[in-house]
Amino acid sequence: IDRAVAFIRENFRKRISVEELSAMVHLSSRQLHRKFVEMFGSSPQAFIMKLRIQAACEALQHDDTPIGVVARDLGFGDQSAFTQHFHKHIGLTPLRYQRQFRLRRG
């Protein structure tokens, strides 16, 4: 599992399939899923999404990069999908998150 986690941490901005991870660590997709749930309390895909959302929070706090660019750079298909996932995990849209952080900074 350590090898899969290291690979995810290095490549979470790209599309990563569970099948690819499974083959890398010589486990079935089901076994890999079970081990991730045991270790992290979530599936491999949820683990990847958490890393992407954490990276998005950092980018939105420290950069003036447009939200669409942040979405693209973090491997989301489009800004709409990014906004949906971000809102689901953070409870705010990326734009509102960025504005709130800037207000606190200013």
**Per-residue pLDDT tens over the stretch 43-60:** 999 999 999 999 999 999
**Per-residue pLDDT tens over the stretch 4-37:** 999 999 999 998 999 999 999 999 999 999 999 9
DSSP state of 78: S
Task: Return the pLDDT at 87.
Answer: 97
Half-sphere exposure in the Cβ direction for 102 (13 Å, CA): 11
* Of 99, 105, 104, residue with least CA distance to 67: 99
Q: How far is CA 38 from CA 9, 12, 44, 105, in A?
A: 18, 21, 11, 38
CB distance 70 to 34 below 8 Å: no
What pLDDT band is residue 105 in, cutting at 50, 70 and 90?
low
- pTM to 2 decimal places: 0.88
Average pLDDT, integer, range 75-101: 94
Tokens standing for 57? 């929070």
